[in-house]
Chains A and B, each alone.
Chain A
Amino acid sequence: EAGVTQSPRYAVLQEGQAVSFWCDPISGHDTLYWYQQPRDQGPQLLVYFRDEAVIDNSQLPSDRFSAVRPKGTNSTLKIQSAKQGDTATYLCASSLRWGEQYFGPGTRLTVL
């Protein structure tokens, strides 16, 4: 069984640039999560989906961040105008309902 895959693995941007992160969850998993993990901290939930519906995006900075999962499978997280404070690893995870979450390897973002 393939795990959660993410791309790209690394991204380096100047402030003000846009970037998109892509996640392919485990086949059959209906729930998909995006986390932000600043250096030397634990992951913090940004948004999660059940199928194609957003269940909770209360921690997503809505003025610059957006996330979609149009067909209830793959998902894209986009930062419209990156800031230095966005420097972090972005982790995607998937699960079957409230079951165990399986994490992808993450995308390490550096904003200069």
Chain B
Amino acid sequence: TQTVSQSDAHVTVFEGDSVELRCNYSYGGSIYLSWYIQHHGHGLQFLLKYYSGNPVVQGVNGFEAEFSKSDSSFHLRKASVHWSDSAVYFCAVSASSGSWQLIFGSGTQLTVMP
């Protein structure tokens, strides 16, 4: 069974701060991991994904994520946030054994204060 855990329901930072949103997964086979962003009242937008190779992947708008097999983690980071980054961020895992269905975490609400 694949599970995705996002331990922080809410994160609040100030504009210009760096931020890390945490994601841990539980699965032992071939997987790929992704992050999505959801602004209030909108659908999800893809940010980035990892399947293999360089464990640090770059996404849109200055986001990056780092895969760690030893920690079973795929944390999302941004060096300097903007107020427009305020949104809910979802981590997702999918696996070949699950027909590549996306399993989402519960989400982290990021609030960026001016």
Contacts and interface: CB of A to CB of B under 8 A. Distances in A.
Interface string A22-41: 00000000000000000011
Contacts of B43: 4, 91, 93, 103-106
15 contacts: A40-B9, A40-B107, A42-B107, A43-B90, A44-B104, A45-B101, A45-B102, A56-B101, A98-B100, A101-B46, A101-B102, A102-B46, A103-B44, A104-B43, A106-B42
A1 interface: no
The interface size bin for chain A is: 20 to 34
A82 B12 CA distance: 37
Contacts of B102: 43, 45, 101
A18 interface: no
Contacts of A55: 99
Contacts of B49: 100
Instruction: Give the one of B4, B43, B101, B105 with max A CB within 10 A.
Output: B43
Contacts of B107: 40-42
Interface of B: 4, 9, 36, 41-46, 49, 90, 92, 99-102, 104-107
A100 B44 CA distance: 12
Identify the interface centre among A42, A44, A100, A105: most chain B CB within 10 Å of its CB: A42
A32 to B, nearest CB: 13
B41 A105 contact: yes
A48 B100 CA distance: 11
B92 to A, nearest CB: 8
A93 B101 CA distance: 12
Contact of A103 (B41, B45, B100, B105): B45
A91 to B, nearest CB: 6
Contacts of B90: 42-43
A41 B106 contact: yes
Contacts of B41: 105
A105 B40 CA distance: 10
B25 to A, nearest CB: 13
